[in-house]
């Protein structure tokens, strides 16, 4: 590529002012003319563009020259793009000694290459092979090109034939599409602001939409909106004779990520902007056009249901607790349903058993289970899944005060069992206990609770997978398969009777809210505690999402902030059970 850097020293010569975006040169031998207001970093651009020849005029730029490399007629050869259009294209590669060489093009790439009279593939070849540090190439298009895109990001999809690793637990072909498209989108947006970005379906348009939309998530609700970068609208690149189902699959991916990103936004929102009351107000607004019935229960109702375990957590807060119900009937002729219970601690200070101050701010996301349940049911409605789902979300803060529950206090759950509360920071299991009891009154075919429950799960699995405890193999297999498809994995943990003994060892009550073995098997003893509130014969799974609460470096499409995981896996789980609702009862 040949790049000319337009700098402040040229302003008097050309009698123009330098804008904040990119010029494309159509008559001179430059692929791109880039405005530069200060020091120009050539090394970073070379890393992005590959082989690059730079011409510039500036005292503080890469090189200097007394004579401009072009004359005033350059004014008539420049086109300023105020509405940039980008395109992400995939290519398949094979490993060689020099890197990953292109072996095959996608249908989208072939069509664009044909429109460019072969210049796209030729330019790509000139940039050299892909490698570990270069997974995408940025190619700017000349104005006179028949290709109606300003910039193309070409991404490495790896080998076309993928050999699955059974130990990874994901569909690696789909995962490569998500990650590659995410890399391409981020590379494009690192060069300029694109109003529209079109995406190569890469044989999996849903995965392409997921990778793009998840990669650009950012929580900016409380920032100065005038200082934010404009967002990009994503579209499917529809090559000639594209399969009709690709369009609907792409839309499905966009809807799924919209719901996961909604869960992420709930988790990222500071606790003073998302109290229990504000949570239900926010969800009510989001669901105003959804085919979901919302029921908001107040403290008086909670007391009437004898949810003493839940209320014991709420005692220390000035904010009144709420109990939110969400009812989606996608199969109205069938009585059976699936129940989802989400932990809704909108801020967890630990209560009297106060947490250390370091990283306590992250406890605004201790309602991650509630956020994921909300996002899952919203997605079920948007996708019109043929299932019946009921969501149950106990919402409160866990705060210290003169009224707060004290270590050693005894409280009663809805099912009549007494609980010795030896650690008020083990509060999630207390609110879930009553949530589980109430959910089972609707006689669900299976009940799942979702909670950022134990730090021990983060130690055990990190961000690789959600830990799952299940008393039923059939439903576990459906959930495990769902994680394989979405790339958001789950891992089964043990429910041995061994752990039950730890929570039943209580001097004052039927149960103790922490195991008597200290830090040993903390996630397993928490699950054993919850199991005490599942009626015999009822099918149940407990999802501990503490390890996947926030994004780390798991994949290219994860970005800074809370994760909203495993929303897409839960939606896929529901889809996997649609057959159970096919026959009328």
Between 68 and 321, whose confidence is greater? 321
- pLDDT, residue 227, reads 87
**Per this entry, what is the length of the chain?**
585
Cis bond before residue 481 (omega within 30° of 0): no
Q: Mean pLDDT over residues 194-208, rounded?
A: 97
0.85 surpassed by pTM: yes
Please report, for the chain, the start and end positions of each structural domain, with discontinuous segments joined by +: 85-242, 265-580
Place of tokens 């398949």: 92
Instruction: State the pLDDT confidence band at 381, using cuts at 50, 70 and 90.
Output: very high
**pLDDT tens digits, 521-548:** 999 999 999 999 999 999 999 999 999 9
**pLDDT tens digits, 354-374:** 999 999 999 999 999 999 999
Least confident of 186-200, 391-405, 430-444, 529-543: 186-200
Percent of the chain with pLDDT over 90: 77
HSE-CB for 532 with a 13 A CA cutoff? 27
HSE-CB for 502 with a 13 A CA cutoff? 24
The answer on pLDDT for 411 being more than 50 is yes
Buried-state track 98-121, b at ≥16 Cβ within 10 A, e below 16: eebebeebbbbbbbbbeebeeebb
Catalytic residues: 355, 429
Q: Mean pLDDT over residues 246-269, rounded?
A: 98
- State residue 215 phi and psi, 5-degree precision: -70, -25
Please tell me the distance from the alpha carbon of residue 113 to that of residue 124, in angstroms, as a whole number: 10
Judge whether 340 and 392 are in contact, CB under 8 Å. yes
Q: Which fold has domain 265-580?
A: Aminopeptidase (3.40.630)
Q: Mean pLDDT over residues 226-237, rounded?
A: 93
Please tell me the distance from the alpha carbon of residue 478 to that of residue 572, in angstroms, as a whole number: 9
The residues near 543 (Cβ < 8 Å, ≥ 6 apart) are 369, 448, 449, 450, 451, 466, 467, 468, 490, 566
The answer on pLDDT for 515 being more than 90 is no
Q: Token pair of 468, please?
A: 């799952």
- pLDDT, residue 143, reads 63
- pLDDT, residue 552, reads 85
Between 334 and 147, whose confidence is greater? 334
Nearest to 375 by CA among 475, 494, 255: 255
Least confident of 54-58, 140-144, 579-583: 54-58
Least confident of 17-26, 79-88, 337-346, 476-485: 17-26
158-162: long-range contacts (C-beta < 8 A, 24 or more apart)? 158/92, 158/93, 158/100, 159/92, 159/93, 159/94, 159/103, 160/92, 160/103, 160/104
Asked if the 85-242 domain carries CATH number 3.20.20.150, the reply is no
**pLDDT tens digits, 32-76:** 445 554 444 444 444 444 444 444 433 233 332 333 344 333 333
The answer on pLDDT for 10 being more than 80 is no
Q: Token pair of 257, please?
A: 């990520």
The answer on pLDDT for 30 being more than 90 is no
Instruction: State the pLDDT confidence band at 584, using cuts at 50, 70 and 90.
Output: low
Q: Mean pLDDT over residues 136-146, rounded?
A: 81
Please tell me the distance from the alpha carbon of residue 210 to that of residue 557, in angstroms, as a whole number: 8
- pLDDT, residue 24, reads 41
- pLDDT, residue 63, reads 30
The answer on pLDDT for 2 being more than 80 is no
Averaged confidence pLDDT in the chain: 88
Nearest to 556 by CA among 239, 250, 139, 158: 158
Among 113-122, 140-149, 204-213, the range with the most confident prediction by mean pLDDT is 204-213
Between 576 and 585, whose confidence is greater? 576
169: DSSP letter = -
Q: Where are the alpha helices (DSSP H) in 194-293?
A: 205-215, 244-268, 276-286
Q: Mean pLDDT over residues 418-422, rounded?
A: 98
């Amino acid at each position: 590529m040949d790049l000319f850097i337009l700098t402040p020293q040229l302003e008097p010569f050309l009698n123009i002012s330098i804008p904040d975006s990119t010029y494309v040169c159509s008559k001179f031998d430059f692929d791109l003319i880039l405005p530069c207001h200060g020091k120009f970093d050539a090394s970073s651009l070379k890393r992005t563009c590959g082989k690059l020849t730079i011409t510039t005029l500036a005292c503080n730029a890469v090189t200097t020259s007394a004579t401009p490399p072009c004359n005033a007629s350059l004014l008539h050869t420049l086109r300023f793009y105020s509405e940039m259009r980008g395109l992400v294209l995939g290519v398949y590669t094979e490993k060689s000694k020099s890197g990953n060489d292109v072996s095959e093009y996608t249908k989208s790439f072939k069509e664009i290459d044909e429109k460019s009279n072969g210049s796209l593939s030729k330019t790509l070849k000139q940039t050299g092979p892909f490698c570990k540090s270069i997974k995408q190439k940025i190619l700017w298009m000349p104005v006179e090109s028949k290709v109606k895109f300003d910039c193309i990001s070409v991404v490495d999809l790896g080998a076309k034939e993928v050999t699955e690793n059974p130990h990874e637990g994901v569909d690696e072909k789909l995962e490569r599409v998500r990650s590659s498209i995410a890399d391409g989108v981020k590379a494009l947006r690192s060069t300029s602001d694109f109003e529209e970005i079109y995406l190569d379906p890469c044989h999996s348009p849903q995965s392409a939409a997921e990778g793009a939309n998840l990669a650009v998530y950012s929580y900016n609700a409380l920032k100065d909106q005038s200082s934010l970068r404009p967002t990009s609208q994503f579209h499917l690149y529809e090559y000639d004779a594209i399969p009709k189902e690709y369009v609907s699959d792409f839309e499905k991916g966009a809807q799924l990520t919209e719901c996961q990103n909604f869960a992420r936004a709930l988790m990222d929102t500071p606790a003073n902007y998302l109290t229990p009351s504000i949570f239900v107000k926010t969800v009510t607004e989001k669901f105003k056009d959804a085919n979901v019935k919302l029921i908001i229960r107040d403290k008086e109702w909670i007391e009437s249901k004898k949810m003493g375990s839940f209320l014991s957590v709420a005692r220390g807060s000035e904010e009144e607790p709420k109990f939110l119900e969400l009812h989606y009937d996608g199969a109205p002729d069938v009585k059976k349903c699936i129940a989802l219970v989400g932990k809704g601690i909108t801020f967890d200070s630990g209560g009297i058993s106060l947490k250390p101050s370091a990283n306590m701010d992250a406890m605004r996301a201790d309602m991650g289970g509630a956020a994921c349940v909300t996002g899952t049911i919203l997605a079920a409605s948007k996708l019109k899944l043929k299932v019946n789902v009921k969501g149950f979300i106990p919402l409160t803060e866990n705060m210290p005060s003169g009224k707060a529950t004290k270590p050693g206090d005894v409280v009663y759950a809805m099912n009549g069992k007494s609980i010795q509360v030896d650690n008020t920071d083990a509060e999630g299991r207390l609110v879930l206990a009553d949530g589980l009891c109430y959910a089972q009154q609707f006689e669900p075919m299976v009940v799942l609770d979702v909670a950022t429950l134990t730090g021990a799960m983060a130690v055990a699995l990190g961000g690789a997978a959600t830990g799952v405890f299940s008393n039923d193999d059939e439903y576990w297999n459906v959930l495990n398969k769902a994680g394989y498809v979405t790339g958001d994995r789950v891992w089964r943990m043990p429910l041995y009777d061994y752990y039950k003994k730890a929570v039943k060892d209580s001097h004052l009550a039927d149960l103790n809210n922490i195991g008597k073995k200290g830090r040993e098997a903390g996630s397993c003893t928490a699950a054993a505690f919850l199991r005490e509130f599942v009626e015999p014969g009822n099918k149940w799974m407990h999802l501990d999402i503490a390890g996947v609460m926030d994004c780390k470096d798991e994949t290219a499409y994860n970005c800074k902030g809370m994760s909203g995981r495993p929303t897409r896996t839960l939606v896929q789980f529901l889809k996997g059970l649609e057959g159970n609702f096919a026959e009328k009862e």
